[in-house]
Amino acid sequence: MNPAPPPLAGIPPVRRPDPYAGDRWTFGFPGGLTAEVHTLGARLHGLWAPDRDGTPADVVLAPRDPRHTATTARYFGATVGRYANRIAHGRFTLDGTPYRLTTQENGHCLHGGTDGFDTRLWEAEGVHTPEWTGVLLRLRSPDGDQGFPGNLDVTVRCLIGRDDELAFSYTAFTDAPTPVNLTNHAYFNLGGEASGDVLGHELAVDATHYTPVDGDLIPRGDHRPVGGTAFDLRRPLRIADALARPGADGGYDHNFVLSPPPGDTTPRRAAVLYAPATGRRMEVLTTEPGLQVYTAGQFDGTVLGKSGTPYRAGAGIALETQHFPDSPNRPGDPSTVLRPGERYTSRTVLRFSTRD
């Protein structure tokens, strides 16, 4: 005889209208994770996780003034697309047709263009089951949006499980061939968002290769082995020690080629982030082939965090699961092209735990 399912003990998603954030949705499980998601940008604004003593803290960076998500804190916690990361010079050719995208950073297309998914107001509804609680967000990107071809219908499910997991599940459909590459752009600090920098955190990345980039952070040449380089994070290493190695140039903003290569729809481990001071540990699992690691070296204190603390270099770290930068112009990389009749799927799980 099968046992009865566990009671519906999670916190049902609660919606609160906000003039700057769209709607704020709060959800989670008592004693475990609790999240706040905004419909403007399908944005993870907050995530409270317990430390080794059971004391919760918000481990996601976000601006004190939500209006700054339109300027200096634009990508904080947002769902970015249609194409996360960079497309060189905002140009690509698909099936023999050239396309020109909107551009910003140094004349390149970054995170979908000047008016990407992070600026849009997504439709949302609550999701609540015995095992999961959260929000489902939807967006239609019309044909020609930022220069991309085809109508694109996108769904993002942001759910917390009773086992201290935060899962992002993406689906998309199109009526014309188009590149698609979606991710969430949260910055994490497992000491708490106002606790200083993450240089004392330990980071491990399950990658055998990385992508060298030029001064504009556009890929140059082939992917290279991490062995013997500043990008070898196959064993846990203090971020401060990693960034002190020759070749790190004081910070990462690089794509790591995950191993083993993708072959199924089951998320596999990509990285582990650990804060010895609090015992919080975050394991990143994904179906994506790449992980963009950004150690926030360009933060200069301009953005004031939720607690009023200026975010300076190293205040957080972004671990963006995705396909590779500039793949539409790099035939040897895994394809990002979605065609009519196909279904784009991607899943990333953040699994939280603590250590003594």
Residues belonging to the active site: 185, 320
Picking from 165, 190, 193, 182, the residue whose alpha carbon sits closest to that of residue 42 is 182
Cβ density class 215-230: b for 16+ within 10 Å, e for less:
eebbbeeebeebeeeb
Cα separation, 351 vs 179, in Å, equals: 29
First to last CA, the chain: 38
What is the edge-to-edge ordering of all strands in the sheet holding 253-258? Answer: 187-188, 317-322, 290-294, 253-258, 207-210, 224-225
> Sign of dihedral through CA atoms 50, 56, 62, 67?
positive
Structure tokens at 279: 């015992």
Largest CA distance in the chain: 63
158 and 137 Cβ atoms separated by less than 8 Å: yes
CB 205 within 8 A of CB 291: yes
201: CB partners within 8 A, 6+ apart: 189, 190, 191, 238, 239, 273, 274, 275, 276, 317
Residue 324 burial (CB count, 10 A)? 22
Closest CA to 158 of 244, 41, 37, 31: 37
Q: Is the dihedral of CA 266, 268, 272, 278 positive or negative?
A: positive
